[in-house]
Structure 1
Amino acid sequence: MKAVTAFLLVLCHLAISHAWNCGGAPRLSNIRQIDAGQGQVVATTNHNYAYFLVGPYWQYLRTNKIKHITVGPAGLWAVDTSNKVNKYVAGKFLPATGLAMQQVDAGGDVNIAGVSPSKKPYCLTTFRTLSYRGRSSPSWTTFSGSLKYFSCGPLFGCWGTNSHNQVYMTKKITTTNCGMSGWLHVSGLAVKVIEVGTDGSVFAVTTTGKVYQRVGITGSRPQGSGWRLVPMCMAIKHVSYDLGTLWVVTTSGLTMRCTH
């Protein structure tokens, strides 16, 4: 199996554009989803186990079964298989009562964004994000619209994709009260996953497993100006970007680490 993995990675290295240098990342079997932020990397597997990358090794995080995990300026958070939101506090995950979530994101300006099983997008203010210690039910603020995946960055707003695989972004979320500027439709791709880096970079995975980067993002034009293909030699199911590194998970379960 290791020989097959190495062979596939060599083929990918030869096939990918010179603009990106991709190689094998520390191996984790059956990886489903990966998230990077603040120099840290976490992941979940198809068996709902959560892991934290320490050097060249994945460290198992002992907790309830976790289906989605995120790390960033807001800390380390997760959603378990019962759709309970969990925050990592003093070496363990503490589940929250109240609102159910299917996915959360810790990449915003020290606040949490999330999507409920009914596809409603939500926000947790900075104060509530930082002060939560597992002793109460967080008070979420709901947004208009419907999303299946939601990701934020501290610089240029938040991005999401809905059940029709359409992309939307909001230029600014006020983290003190979760006020937002409204949704802007971004055309051009059918997207199943979209991720925002802490530097404002936006990467999307299409329904056909291709990876694209949003280009032209600036403070005056946070929606950017177009999509640029990031060539990959295999179909991709998840990505995350942090500090110049694009973490890529293929549909076959391989993990790659790509740098510009």
Structure 2
Amino acid sequence: MKAVVAFLLVLCSLAVSHGTSRVPNARPSTQPPRRPHVRPLPRPVGWNCREGPRLYGAMQIDAGMGQVVVADKYKRTYFLSGLALYRLGRMGMKHVSVGAGGVWGSCHANKVYKYVAGDFSLAKGLSMYQVDAGGDGQIVGVGSGSYNTYCLKEKTALDYCGRGTLSWSYLSRKMMYYSCGSKWGCWGVDKRYRIWVTKNISPTNCRTSGWTAVSGPRMKMIEVSSDGKVFGVTTTGKIYQRAGITNRRRQGTRWLYVPMCMPVRHVSYDLRNLWIVTTSGLIMKCSH
């Protein structure tokens, strides 16, 4: 097994050494390359990837506030300390998230949990396929069965200690995957694998300022970091980063392809580190 992992990592190192490029199918310019009105191609940004902490059967990973949490196919949840992963609580999650609002997760029965006093505590209320704690204190999630999106106010999320029933605010949009950053809004992917961004969401009352469709490849998931970086994984397991995101242009301007030699299941970004889970269950850590 170690030999196979080492061989795959060598291949990935060769693949990602070519750096980040535009979307492969983008139409090439028909203008001479030195004409002043032609926009130059973005300079490649190389990613250095290596094997992450070893965990057989990793399924999902989330990084935020300097912390990294992982869920595996055996319904177990882990946190990263140093170079090793350690069990996080007794209750396993299919999707776990860490951020300013704490550590939250959704189990295989779609029940929502918050990590309280050393273990996951059931958060009574709506059931969720997926929850995200990466916002500015608020928690967002995708409702079980309905694909409706919901938000938990910052104060409610922070104060929850395992007692009572949570009241979620409806966000008026159906999504398959939803993620927020504390800087420049939230991103989501709907059931048709289309990409959406909301320009702003208030952590105090969960109000949003509207949704904008973003053209690009068909995505199965998308993640927003605390510093506003956006990475997504296509339905075929390719990674793209959204470039050109600013305060005035929350939707950005273009997608940059991040080469990987293996198909990818899940990604997360925090503090200049890109965390990757491949479809084979391998964890990789990339930086540039």
TM range (shorter): over 0.9
Aligned to 2:36: none
CA contact (8 A) 2:132 2:139 kept: yes
| TM-score, structure 1 normalization | 0.98
Aligned to 1:91: 118
Aligned residues: percent identity?
53
Aligned to 2:272: 244
SS at match of 2:94: strand
User: 2 CA distance for matches of 1:29 and 1:74?
Assistant: 29
Task: Work out whether 1:138 is the aligned partner of 2:197.
Answer: no
SS at match of 1:33: strand
User: 2 CA distance for matches of 1:225 and 1:80?
Assistant: 36
Task: Work out whether 1:21 is the aligned partner of 2:48.
Answer: yes
Aligned residues: CA RMSD:
0.8
Q: Which stretch of structure 1 is more off in the superposition, 89-98 or 101-110?
A: 89-98
- Aligned-pair distance for 1:14? 1.3
CA contact (8 A) 2:91 2:119 kept: no
TM-superposition CA deviations, 1:204-239 (whole Å, max 9, x none): 000011000000001111110010000111111100
- Aligned-pair distance for 1:253? 1.2
Q: Paired residues, what number?
A: 260
User: 2 CA distance for matches of 1:242 and 1:73?
Assistant: 13
| TM-score, structure 2 normalization | 0.89
TM-superposition CA deviations, 1:179-228 (whole Å, max 9, x none): 00111000111000100000000000000110000000011111100100
Superposition map of 1:66-77 within 5 A = 66-77=93-104
Q: 1:2 is aligned with what amino acid?
A: K
User: 2 CA distance for matches of 1:6 and 1:157?
Assistant: 38
Q: 2:113 is aligned with what amino acid?
A: N
Kindly indicate which of the two structures has a greater share of residues assigned to strand: 1
TM-superposition CA deviations, 1:144-175 (whole Å, max 9, x none): 12101000001100000011000001000011
User: Is there any run of 5+ residues in structure 1 with no aligned partner, and where?
Assistant: none
Runs of at least 4 residues off by over 6 Å: none
SS at match of 1:47: coil
- Aligned-pair distance for 1:255? 1.1
SS at match of 1:144: strand
User: 1 CA distance for matches of 2:72 and 2:8?
Assistant: 21
User: Is there any run of 5+ residues in structure 2 with no aligned partner, and where?
Assistant: 20-45
Aligned to 1:165: 193
Aligned to 1:61: 88
SS at match of 1:102: strand
User: 1 CA distance for matches of 2:276 and 2:132?
Assistant: 17
Q: 1:232 is aligned with what amino acid?
A: M
CA contact (8 A) 2:113 2:122 kept: yes
User: 1 CA distance for matches of 2:14 and 2:108?
Assistant: 39
Aligned to 1:4: 4
- Aligned-pair distance for 1:2? 0.6
